[in-house]
Amino acid sequence: MWLGHTVKVDRAERVSTETADRSQVRRAVLLLAGLLVVLLMVAPIARQPLSGTEPLLPAYAAAIFVSEMVTVALLLALFGVQRSWALLALAGGYLFSGLTVIPWAFTFPDVFPGWAVGDGLQTTASIAAFRRLGFPLFVLAYALLRDRPPVHGSASWPIAGVIAGVTGVALGATGLIIVGDDVLPRFMTDKRNVAAVWFVVPPATIVLYACGLGLLLRRPLSVLDLWLVVVLCTLLIELVLLSYVSAGLRLGVGWWVGRACGLLSATIMLLVLLLETTSLYARLARSVAAERRGRNNRITTMEVLSASIAHEVKQPLASMVTNADAGLRWLAKEPPRSDEAKAALGRIVRDGHRASRVIESVRAMYTKGSQERVAVDLNARIEEVVEAYESEFRLSGISVETDLEPMLPLVLGNPAQLHQVACNLIDNAVEAMRPVAGRRRLLRATSRRRSDGEVVVSIEDTGTGLDPAHGEDIFEPFFTTKPDGMGMGLMFCRSVVEAHGGRLWASANIPHGAVLTFSLPEAGEEG
């Protein structure tokens, strides 16, 4: 899984190092408070025997075993990522606890009659004492190893070593206990009642639990530390129920409630690891998705930027080619018309500067803080564009009318960008009227000042009109109804207008054609 590789994980995202927050501490305190309430409620009836409950022990032991083995797998997986010696020690503790619960169940009197692994009176109690004293030692190792530098190199060998060592100790010790029942301490007087010697085990275990708690609580708790504290407290409550409240009586009410606490302690760490790992993966998935969206947005922005430049530069380049051809024709005449050729070259220079301004204005749209804003006369911009398109209108048979309000207020904006907006809107109108036959081709440009402090400019045509099904799609990048269109012109216009605090919209022109209108705040109104 992760055993042979080092995976980089943000320290703040690690369950073993992320500081427990107040909500987690609150949940832990509530859980322990609930267990204390259960302890108090059970105390009056703790020594009441529950005969015939032996068949429940295999299920209990199986649940403990499965929970602790899955916890071991998760802790070893975390070790494979973080290479923490402390995690390896804790995994060893859960492995030890899980391996020793099986012989404990198999040697329990009357649970597997006739084929139990060991039938000595002291075997089960000795395994229980070994298991109860062994687990807190691993917790102490975890607490002491938290600040040790991580493992370098492959994680496989330390994992294999811990698994082999713990398995050898657990199986070897339980094997010796099973075969050496005659020399074991006299923990039990009969199958249900403990002897006085047993009461040495609980105090020793409590001391180990207290040492573990002290080491864990000496510094701010991570999420893992917090719930390990809860595990130790739950085991302490289990020990009190088994050894003191129920006086060591097996298979009584207190004994079974204590075993339930033991099962809870075995599953707490499992649930925490599963929940925190799931939460980590969810955060990781969100982070990856956000990164992917950002990358896609950057790619889309680059596509839009390049397409915008290609679209906007196409007009001045076409004009430059036309003027260059005209200049060559003037020079080819006899005698050469140098004055006309000079005029054509002048127009080429003008279009070259215009192309440069277009590129700069498009780049500025996608660069924060690079917008040049000055007072702009929209009437003058419209007149400049209409003049530039004069030959285009003549060749396409388009009549032009302008109705520009005198003394139109200035707007604050980027002159090159607003000039290009007017170019694009007029170019769209020309393109829309080219297929029209049988009626007048009319382009009308108007400007008005509104009472709300905005300047409104409209470009009307008598072309093919708008398809209602397309709606706002005409302003989306790469959407076009033209056979050779790029779908960038209106997107560019809306982006520029909205960046200047205005709006751009389209409507039908009655009876034929379309109207593209944009509004911008007056220079004195913006800001």
Answer with the residue of higher pLDDT: 1 or 341: 341
Q: Where are the domains of the chain?
A: 51-292, 294-365, 374-521
Least confident of 51-60, 88-97, 295-304: 295-304
CATH T-level fold of 51-292: Rhopdopsin 7-helix transmembrane proteins (1.20.1070)
3-state secondary structure at position 226: helix
Flag whether the pTM goes above 0.75.
no
Mean pLDDT of the chain: 82
**pLDDT of amino acid 332:** 83
Residues 6+ apart with CB under 8 A from 400: 386, 393, 442, 443, 444, 445
Higher per-residue pLDDT: 78 or 1: 78
Residue pLDDT, tens place only, 440-492: 999 999 999 998 889 999 999 999 888 776 667 677 766 566 555 555 678 87
Q: What is the mean pLDDT of residues 511-517?
A: 91
Residues 97 and 104: their CA atoms lie apart, in Å, by 11
For 150-220, list the strands marked E by DSSP. Answer: none
The model's confidence at residue 184, banded by pLDDT at 50, 70 and 90, is confident
Taking alpha carbons only, the member of 384, 431, 424 closest to residue 404 is 384
What is the C-alpha to C-alpha distance for residues 422 and 461, in angstroms, rounded to an integer? 14
Q: Residue 377 half-sphere exposure, CB side, CA atoms within 13 Å? A: 10
pLDDT per position as a tens digit, 383-434: 988 988 887 888 888 999 999 999 999 999 888 788 888 988 998 898 889 8
Gap between the Cα atoms of 118 and 60, Å rounded: 19
pLDDT for 496 equals 85
Cβ atoms of 508 and 515 closer than 8 Å? yes
Q: Which two tokens stand for residue 280?
A: 């980590």
Burial class (CB in 10 A: 0-12, 13-18, 19+), 512: middle
- Tell the burial category of 405 from Cβ atoms under 10 Å away from its Cβ (0-12, 13-18, 19+): middle
Confidence class for position 17, pLDDT limits 50, 70, 90: low
The alpha-carbon radius of gyration of the chain (Å, integer) is: 42
Amino acid at 190: D
Q: Name the architecture of domain 374-521.
A: 2-Layer Sandwich (3.30)
Q: Which residues pair with 166 in a beta bridge?
A: none
- More confident position, 313 or 155: 155
Beta-bridged to residue 77, according to DSSP, are none
| Cβ 304 vs Cβ 491: under 8 Å | yes
